[in-house]
Amino acid sequence: MAKMWQGVTDGVTSKIADDFNSSISFDSRMYREDIAGSIAHAKMLAKQGIIAEDEKNAIIAGLFGILEDLESGALKIDPSAEDIHMFVEQVLTDRIGEAGKRLHTARSRNDQVALDLRMYLRREAGEIIELLKAAAKAVCAKAEEYKTAVMPGYTHLQRAQPILLSHQLLAYCMMFLRDIDRIEDCRERMNVCPIGSCALAGTTYETDRRFEAELLDFSDICRNSIDGVSDRDFALELMSDLAILQTHLSRFCEELILWSSWEFGFVELSDNFTTGSSIMPQKKNPDMAELIRGKTGRVYGDLMSLLTALKGLPLAYNKDMQEDKEPVFDSVDTAKACLGVFIPMISEMKAKPENMLKAAQTGFINATDLADYLVRKGLPFRSAYKIAGQTVAKCREKGCILETLPLEDYKFLCELFEGDLYQEIDLKACVEKRISEGGTSLKSVEEQIEYVKKQLSEP
């Protein structure tokens, strides 16, 4: 079939080339944005006297008709069309005739595709922000539910110090709050209108770019037309933000996978979000958490693929840039799907505070508190640290824990030990003493819960 760009050539290309060149299989999802952009363009052209009022009206009515028919299914996307922009324009021209041919005045697909993609991604960014808010709320609610449960905190995956489970969960809330901030920030920078940049150099027509940008709810226009058609930073930025978000989800899921194992037994995931094995009847596998962890890899890959596609491109538009869509759409779809399963999985998860406490009782995680006890009795921290270490060695030798080591053994190691040491190394007391802002004491955790709630309640 001859192309709309038939001119210097006869517009006939090989079918193999057509298939290779076509982006409609993945850019048709931007049909709403493409139509909205074209309606605004027609309004601007008419206001500037570049097309007539009746032509504008015919174009707008035609575009609304196309939108309606696409939504109802009466009009099917033609898979052999080159891209969504060509498809809409072709159908419009078929339906309304001459006026349709005037729509592309003072416009190029180069600025059109940049416009559509910005509009599409700003909407998706908004949806992801809402999902992230729900995720942070679900985690915060879990923290409240298990506010006082004590567990071992880890470094190097070795039991380190006693903490509250709520404290650890709130760490993820803080990450999600930053993710929200980052995506909001990205959305703001993205919300700058490229239309009117045309092919690259601007146009000879007296257009009104700001009017068109306002109609489409942009807060500004791209100030340089070459940049307007060449820039894909907004996609890279969103993908970077999503890669970071996935890192957070993946770390959380990794903990859920560990914690739901028999070895830990800290949590139980709901049956709704685990699967059985086809051979081992006892199995309850955390597939959803594993898939979120696994899908994180593809979001990183998406980002890397677009960075690489762009790095060697001379200005302005190059067809390589058509390769922006699949990775950015995949990142968006993947992040939304991951959040969509993560939120109810967290809400339905049950913790097992008894097991967490049991784990906290072994591993000498109150040894720092023992050292701090001696510091309060006047020893320098380094000396206290050494004695606490020797005390742990003594316990190991005797097969007991700090709480059950007799006072005479303590006394033998250091004169300063008195009977009051036992209340100092009690796990609940160890947690309660961590009163520094942001620490693990209940009061501090309650402040963190309030903080998260306040951040999430702002408009």
User: What six digits make up the tokens of 183?
Assistant: 């995506």
Does the bond joining 289 to the residue before it have cis omega, within 30 degrees of 0?
no
Out of 213, 306, 321, 328, the residue judged to bind ligand ARG by CB under 6 A? 321
**Contacts with ligand ARG in 237-296 (CB under 6 A)?**
none
Binding mask 76-105 for ligand ARG (x = CB under 6 A): -------x----------------------
Rounded to whole angstroms, the Cα distance separating 233 from 244 reads 16
107 touching ligand ARG, by CB under 6 A: no
Q: 437 in the Ramachandran plot: left (φ > 0), alpha (ψ -120 to 50) or beta?
A: beta
Residue (70 or 425) nearer to ligand ARG, CB: 70
Q: Which two tokens stand for residue 81?
A: 């069309």
Catalytic residue of the set 72, 156, 436, 457: 156
The stretch among 68-76, 107-115, 294-302, 413-421 that binds ligand ARG (CB under 6 A) is 107-115
Taking the C-alpha atoms of residue 261 and residue 285, their distance in angstroms, rounded to an integer, is 9
Tell me the closest approach of the beta carbon of residue 451 to ligand ARG, in angstroms: 43
**Gap between the Cα atoms of 403 and 427, Å rounded:** 9
SS3 73: coil
Q: Is 317 an interacting residue with respect to ligand ARG (CB under 6 A)?
A: yes
Q: How far is CA 267 from CA 142, 157, 213, in A?
A: 12, 17, 51
State the minimum distance, in angstroms, from the CB of residue 3 to ligand ARG. Answer: 11
Q: Let me know if 104 is a catalytic residue.
A: no
- 418 residue type, one letter: E
In angstroms, what is the minimal distance from the CB of 85 to ligand ARG?
A: 6
Find the part of the chain contacting ligand ARG (CB under 6 A) among 108-116, 187-195, 230-238, 345-353: 108-116
Residues 11-30: x where in contact with ligand ARG by CB under 6 A, - otherwise, as a string: ------------x---x---
Specify the residue, 4 or 401, whose C-beta has the smaller distance to ligand ARG: 4
Whether residue 260 contacts residue 254, with contact meaning beta carbons closer than 8 Å, is answered with no
Amino acid at 134: A
Residue 156 among the catalytic residues: yes
- Beta-carbon count within 10 A of 305 CB: 18
Give the number of other CB atoms < 10 A from CB of residue 390: 13
Residue 113 lies near ligand ARG (rule: CB under 6 A): yes
Count residues contacting ligand ARG (CB under 6 A)? 10
H/E run at residue 151: strand 150-155
Binding site for ligand ARG (CB under 6 A): 23, 27, 83, 109-110, 113, 317, 319, 321-322
User: Which residues are known catalytic residues?
Assistant: 156, 277
